[in-house]
Structure 1
Amino acid sequence: MKTLLLTTVIASSMAVAAQAEVVVLSWGGAYGAAEVEAHVKPFMEATGIKTTMTDADNPATPLKAQAESGNVSVDVALVEYADAVRLCDEGLLEEIDPDLLLPGSDGTPAMEDFLPGAVMDCGISTDLWANVIAYDASQFPGEKPTKIADFFDLQKFPGKRGVKKAPKTVLEMALMADGVPAAEVYDVLSTDEGLDRAFAKLDTIKSDVIWWEAGAQPPQLLADGEVSMSTAYNGRIFNAAIEEGKPLVVLWDGQVYEHEMYVIPKGAPHLDDAMKYIQFTTSTEGLRRQAQYISYGPTRKSSNAGEILYKDGKTVMGPHLPTYPANMTNALETNLDFWVDNDSELNERFNAWLAN
């Protein structure tokens, strides 16, 4: 029935294509390029609806400003899970009816096919991505880093460190490097003593940190030799290694992963077409196709069935995905509730710590 619905939607869309344009706000770089190839171009081909991609260092920031001002030029945006919940709670996003979602290619109902946490009131997950530690193999000709604690060991593994200029993920990694098991990180981080412990661990490398804010920076910092190791988005490192031949390696120990969400701002100029875009791109084929262009894990079970090959037709994507079993042995899922409750306070403390 829903397949028939999509066919009807596509047919009707073709008739009004000239009047519509969906604007998608993404993160740019390798991620944005993957979205264009896996989602934007196939959607335009299937529906005839003109669709364009624009980018920002953090799409949630301009999206919030537009929705609050009532001057909205974006129809769909990709935001982090915590931002999706926050913006939804603030009434700045459209709710998305789960009945809109197509069943899996094997017939599994959508709500049974999506992974836990992938469908929320105002957002649908497009992938699981991870903050990881990455290093330049050429800078360590002998022993290589193998665990997250090595990122903080400047004696054994010398060199500058690239670190995202924000507390989220950084504090969690600091605690895991200090010996806190992944399952206990948020219990520890919820205490004053735990916060002090995380900042104390960051103190050990603070004088050797080069701070980054945009996802494109870590691969460049590593490639230029400005840092020997860096926190990074795993997809950016994959792209630099596979596409550009850089000797960059992902250290999966201590990865912090989360859902990326498609959302629609209140006041989207092309609301109906935005819903069609989300329906189309979060299908089994849409999510699987994305994993052929970037190393982020599909959030449907049916999308993960069978071997997924990269667009080069030879690179098997499994070992490069956050969801690969071997990469999940010491992995931490971002705790949404913790960051919704503590984001402002911890950003204030982090900025004060940076200034000292």
Structure 2
Amino acid sequence: MTATDTRTTPDADLARRPAHVRTLWIAGTLAALAVVMAASVALGARDVGLSDIVAGLGGAESTLGEAAVKKRVPRTLLAMTVGAALATAGAVMQGVTRNPLADPGILGVNMGASLAVVTGIAYFGLTSPTSYIWIATAGAAATALFVYTIGSLGRGGATPLKLALSGAAVSAALASLVTAVMLPRNDIAGTFRMWQIGGVGGASFEKIGHILPFLAVGFLLCLLSARGLNSLALGDELAAGLGEKVVVTRAAAALGAVLLCGAATAVAGPIGFVGLVVPHLCRLVIGPDHRWLLPLAAVLGAALLTAADVVGRVVNRPSEIDVGIITALIGAPFFIYIVRRQKVRAL
């Protein structure tokens, strides 16, 4: 859909998707999330039965099954939290930049956060989870600004293709820098591994507790910006004519997305493509209205990342495949599909 088409069709799109239909989609996605959560607790290197699940949820760990459940519960919650954060951030980034290719991974934001954390650990001795989040957020913000600046240079400004190419180039460069920082530090190579690929294997309730305040602020900023993002989809001039404070709306939404990316990357590493795939799927079923799009993206993102984690644990038992690899296998073909759709140039 072209930018011109988008200005004339949102009302028609919304008319075809009445509120009760969109509510049913969200309810159905919540039900799917509940099923995936149950699978995440029950499946893994060792499958567990209902009795072990009930006992494990009650705090028991006298058997291997109960101990497995006790470890899988925080892992499931972390996968849900990170998936919801990345999907919401992706939807907001696409709305802020009016770029259908925007995604925390593709634009290099996740890798910028990873490099900041790895550098902090290697050279500044950072050990506090809270410090990880602050430095990851700073790295994410700096990378987002850098990529947008590069993509805005030259004729035509920040086009979707230029932003995607700039993000890919910056992401590749930052990934090389992460490797360069890691190579001479074999003493903490295990700690660094997560910031190369992305995973939720080291989950704990303590980690979740550390990121919740940052995620809460990020989600709140994104949700409060939903109506403004709808106006930005019409173009800056028309949005300003409708009374929208374009700069404030864009800055608030971008800050919310950066907080979500930074916090998610600080605890799970650079997991890519969730923020690209999920918003597009959500638009297909409920339309472009961000007031509905953002909540559905959060729920579907949580379900997708949790399902990807389950797949990674099951397909290679008793070992496991990091969730970042699974999402890349899902998202890379989808990215190619979006790029090859010549009609999709802006939101």
TM-score (norm. length: structure 1): 0.24
Structure number with the higher strand fraction is 1
Structure number with the higher helix fraction is 2
TM-score (norm. length: structure 2): 0.25
